[in-house]
Amino acid sequence: MKNTVISVRNLVKKFGNFIANDNLTFEVYKGEIFGFLGANGAGKTTAIRILSGLSKPTSGEVIVAGFDARKQPEQIKKNIGYMCQKFSLYEDLTVKENIMLYGGIYGMKKQLIRDRTRSLLERLQFEEYGDRLIAALPLGLKQKLAFSVAVLHEPKIVFLDEPTGGVDPITRRQFWEMIYETAARGITVFVTTHYMDEAEYCDRVSIMNEGKIEALDTPAGLKKQYQAGSIEEVFISIARPGKN
């Protein structure tokens, strides 16, 4: 029996006459790496905002980590982590101060934050960076750190919105190793990306187009269904304008 952590049924989100999310229905399971693909403007960001309690659905049922997105957004926020495409650590604070801040915002005890900071810096092998300002770190390190901070409080789900934008291939690979480790710990990873090779690393992938989910399966299943050699081909055949 799979353990459902996100359950979306008939989600509709309208802005005036514009339908950003058109009747989405899907489930995400515990410990899964769920790839959320779609061209720019397909409605990904809107859906993530609803799932993370930032915005309310127009209609439909959205349950995240056991809480209703319409009625209990505050409860959802306590149980998720979030890392957006723009870098979300403070440049003028040190590594440790950033960790202290986010740990504190998520209500963690000081001693716990200290312990996790130590093991986190050890794991990333940058103990010596602890007291440096974020501004002084290279981008790759920043991104890895931002991800570690987003899961510092051991959330049930972590949302990653294009986490690897602008980093080099080596860092991207290391980043995905961190994602695997996190998922192995039982944290569900909900990730959007524009890199199709990354989509291949996901357990399951959904592809959105014009507000609808057009396809949802394992990467292997999708390739079989669309008779394609790669997820990239699947994506293009779905998102290509005027394909109907």
Partner 1 sequence: MKRFLVFVKKEFLHIFRDVRTMIILFLIPGALILLFGFVVNTDLKNATVSFLDLSRDEMTVKLTDKICSSGFFFRGENLDSYQEIDQALRGNKIKAVIIFEKDFSRKLISDGKATVNIITDGSEPNMATMATNYISAIIADFNSELVTNGTTATLLVQPEVRMFYNPSLKSQHMFVPGVITLIMILICALMTSITITREKEFGTMEALLVSPLKPIQIILGKIVPYFILSFVDVIIILLLSRYVFDLPVKGSIILLLAETMLYILMSLSLGILISSVVNTMQQAIFISLVGMMLPAILLSGFIYPIGNMPKIYDWISAIMPPRYFIIIIKNVMIKGTGFSYIWKETLFLVLFTLFAIVLSIRKFNIRLQ
Residues that bind partner 1 (CB under 8 A): 52-56, 74, 77-78, 80, 82-93, 97, 100-102, 104-107, 159
User: CB-based burial of residue 243 (10 Å sphere; 0-12 exposed, 13-18 middle, 19+ buried)?
Assistant: exposed
Give the DSSP letter string of 120-165.
HHHHHT-GGGTTSBGGGS-HHHHHHHHHHHHTTT--SEEEEESTTT
> Using only C-alpha atoms, what is the Rg of the chain?
18
* Cβ atoms 69, 50 nearer than 8 A: yes
Measured CA to CA, the distance from residue 92 to residue 99 in angstroms comes to 13
